[in-house]
Amino acid sequence: MIHQETNRSSLVEAVPNFSEGRRSQVVDKIAQAIQRPGVRLLNRTSDWDHNRSVLTVAGPPAAVVEGLYQAIDVAAQEIDLFEHQGVHPRLGATDVVPLIPIREFSLADCVTLANQLGARVGEELGLPVYLYEAAATQSARRNLADVRRGQFEGLVEEISQPHRKPDFGPVQVGSAGAVIIGARQFLIAYNVYLETGDVQIAKIISKRIRESSGGMLAVKALGLLVEGRAQVSMNLVDFQVTGLPSVMEAIEQMASDFGTRIHSSELIGLLPQQALLDVASHYLKLPSLVPDQIIEYALHK
Amino acid sequence: MIHQETNRSSLVEAVPNFSEGRRSQVVDKIAQAIQRPGVRLLNRTSDWDHNRSVLTVAGPPAAVVEGLYQAIDVAAQEIDLFEHQGVHPRLGATDVVPLIPIREFSLADCVTLANQLGARVGEELGLPVYLYEAAATQSARRNLADVRRGQFEGLVEEISQPHRKPDFGPVQVGSAGAVIIGARQFLIAYNVYLETGDVQIAKIISKRIRESSGGMLAVKALGLLVEGRAQVSMNLVDFQVTGLPSVMEAIEQMASDFGTRIHSSELIGLLPQQALLDVASHYLKLPSLVPDQIIEYALHK
């Protein structure tokens, strides 16, 4: 097992997805199991049609990993994939567990953490584990959809094939299925509204800035019409590669080429403090801004 | 006594100045007295020539006020103004106590707090108390320098005169002198460097933007030459009146009139998170940004 140095300010987030969205007592048990001392449950969402629940937790790395282990154990005991039905694709009782660096902890540290958790789940709970995204051990496993292809039912058939060999745990599938564990950067969901109702402009700008069509790295974008206004709806999947100021300036420039301007912007959900510091640092030309200079942060350390 | 509602997220800062900068054991005792449960000592600075120490503390309003009361008590017992010598002007053992709103607490709340503390210091410790700045009861007492005019020695002579009547406490001065208590906004010390070594440009810009010469409200500014670069050195004494984006844009405009640009900026000390949110909100045109959207903040609530 790999050990790593973490300091007492280190924080990670995890967003485990469980294949149970109907029996709320089961979700209660999982949610209780995950809340170790220091671990904060930030969000809990269950969906009947998907028959799936998503928990968002954050805290010190060791505590979060312990909570995840306990939750995976409870889910494996309570959820039977042979009985499970739902709209959302899934491979196991605990379907997927992304680990996300928040503070004084790197993506590489989260990869190490994913390996620690995966090894323990494989050995002690006897579940097959696949590592994905930044933690993937082969390029074919980076993409979650690829790992989940064929779902639980397909994996039961295919697990003995070489290309489906788990990264940890037994080469056999029980009623709890397999667990997909990985590491990724924090995703910022950010929308920019234009001073126009012409959705085509938002669509063209979106196509130009998103990575998949040769735009900016780590940017996903879609042009939408929202309440009569053209909107560039984005996911910044690694704000340290492409952050808020960069997309703002790119969109501002393109909008001006179309004779329009940015009207306003909107942040969906949370963002790490570092993303905010990056914004201030960029626009104020203030290279040395550090979290300790925020009085509330200094107080809570 | 006035009572007010505070919620558990309310935070105030206080920066009490004590007339002792040489006997470190006395400062130790004061610093111990101020650290009630919940009160964080953020900074401690003592100066031999000034013979003065400045403590910066923050915490929940009730705890901070209790800590200040205890510290004022210790200082009154340990410091004898009849013996005190130092370069810095002073009126008492605890010379001045500004209360500063940080979070979920307004300047008006701090004025109430200053009155509560002043009443208690006057009644229970028997010290004359003057209220200043936002807490001043007369316009002649708003300015700290005016309240401190003549220093301790002058006050001993003049305290029975009507214009020197204390806001709380006895009309007589003992060895602990008087305490000046007030409320003000958080002060942001912010410097902007220009891409020129011509200090005259910084001096002209400073004169144009500072309130005292008809510039921007709540801005103090001075043009300096720092390490070969022209610097506009500012105190933003109420960032909710004039914040970082406003001074940046004003300086940028004026610098461009002189054929130069902003090189970089620098923040001295701390700033409240709200000031940072205001920067992001301004440049991202993101009106709805709230502290709860910062993940570290959401975690610590």
pLDDT in tens, B10-22: 999 999 999 999 9
Mutual orientation of helices B244-257 and B273-283 as an angle, nearest 10°? 50
**Interface of chain A against chain B, CB under 8 Å?**
11, 13, 40, 42, 58-59, 102-103, 186, 244-245, 248, 262-267, 269-273, 276-277, 279-280, 282-289, 291, 293-300
Whether the pLDDT of residue A9 is over 90: the answer is no
Q: What is the mean pLDDT of residues A143-154?
A: 94
* Residue type present at position A2: I
How far away is chain B from the Cα of A268, in angstroms, using its nearest Cα? 9
Please say whether the beta carbons of B97 and B182 come within 8 A: yes
Whether the pLDDT of residue B67 is over 90: the answer is yes
Name the 3-class secondary structure at A145: helix
Cβ-based neighbours of A100, under 8 Å, separated by 6 or more: A12, A13, A14, A15, A110, A183, A184, A185, A186
- The pLDDT score that the predictor gives to residue A2 is 40
Percent of chain A's residues with pLDDT above 90: 80
Name the 3-class secondary structure at A136: coil
Taking one residue from A and the other from B, the number of pairs with CB-CB distance under 8 angstroms is 120
Phi, psi of A201, rounded to the nearest 5 degrees: -65, -45
For tokens 């969205």, name the residue.
A21
How far away is chain A from the Cα of B123, in angstroms, using its nearest Cα? 32
Q: What is the mean pLDDT of chain A?
A: 93
Of the pLDDT bands very low, low, confident and very high (cuts 50, 70, 90), residue B2 is very low
Whole-angstrom CA distances from A294 to A300, B11, B165, B253 are 10, 13, 39, 28
How far apart are alpha carbons B137 and B165 in whole angstroms? 11
Q: CA quadruple A99, A105, A108, A111: dihedral positive or negative?
A: negative
- Of the listed ranges A5-14, A68-77, B223-232, the least confidently predicted one is A5-14
How far away is chain B from the Cα of A96, in angstroms, using its nearest Cα? 22
Rg (CA), chain B: 21
- The pLDDT score that the predictor gives to residue B50 is 86
**Interface of chain B against chain A, CB under 8 Å?**
11, 13, 40, 42, 58-59, 102-103, 186, 244-245, 248, 262-267, 269-273, 276-277, 279-280, 283-289, 291, 293-300
- The pLDDT score that the predictor gives to residue A3 is 42
Q: What is the mean pLDDT of residues B108-137?
A: 98
The nearest alpha carbon in chain B to A300 belongs to B300
How far apart are alpha carbons B58 and A295 in whole angstroms? 9
Percent of chain B's residues with pLDDT above 90: 80
- The pLDDT score that the predictor gives to residue B48 is 86
- CB–CB contact B288 A266 (8 Å): yes
The nearest alpha carbon in chain B to A191 belongs to B286
First to last CA, chain B: 30
Percent of chain B's residues with pLDDT above 70: 97
How far apart are alpha carbons A87 and B243 in whole angstroms? 50
Active site residues of B: 88
- CB–CB contact B286 A266 (8 Å): yes
Please say whether the beta carbons of B5 and B108 come within 8 A: no
The CA angle B203-B206-B210, to the nearest 5 degrees, is 145
Cβ-based neighbours of B248, under 8 Å, separated by 6 or more: A283, A284, B192, B262, B265
- The pLDDT score that the predictor gives to residue A288 is 82
Q: What is the mean pLDDT of chain B?
A: 93
User: Looking at per-residue confidence, does A275 or A9 come out higher?
Assistant: A275
Q: Which helix (H) or strand (E) holds B72?
A: helix B61-78
A294 to chain B: which residues are within 8 Å by CB? Answer: 270-273, 276
Whether the pLDDT of residue A4 is over 60: the answer is no
**Residue A169 CA to its chain's centroid (Å):** 23
Top residue of A104, A194, A263, A283 to mutate, by most chain B CBs within 10 Å, is A283
- CB–CB contact B284 A244 (8 Å): yes
Nearest one of A118, A131, A126 to A184, comparing CA atoms? A131
B243 to chain A: which residues are within 8 Å by CB? Answer: none
- The pLDDT score that the predictor gives to residue B217 is 96
- CB–CB contact A269 B299 (8 Å): no
Q: Which long-range contacts (CB under 8 A, 24 or more apart) does A45-50 make?
A: A46/A20, A46/A21, A46/A22, A47/A21, A47/A88, A48/A21, A48/A22, A49/A21, A49/A86, A49/A87, A50/A21, A50/A86, A50/A87, A50/A88
Of the pLDDT bands very low, low, confident and very high (cuts 50, 70, 90), residue A269 is confident
- Of the listed ranges A34-48, B224-238, B247-261, the least confidently predicted one is A34-48
How far apart are alpha carbons A43 and A54 in whole angstroms? 8
pTM equals: 0.74
Whether the pLDDT of residue B299 is over 80: the answer is no
Q: Which of A245, A269, A273 sits opposite B296 (nearest CB)?
A: A273
Name the 3-class secondary structure at A298: helix
Q: What is the mean pLDDT of residues B238-243?
A: 94
Of the pLDDT bands very low, low, confident and very high (cuts 50, 70, 90), residue A301 is low
* Residue type present at position A44: R
Whether the pLDDT of residue A5 is over 90: the answer is no
Q: What is the mean pLDDT of residues B132-159?
A: 95
Q: Which long-range contacts (CB under 8 A, 24 or more apart) does A23-28 make?
A: A26/A78, A26/A79, A27/A53
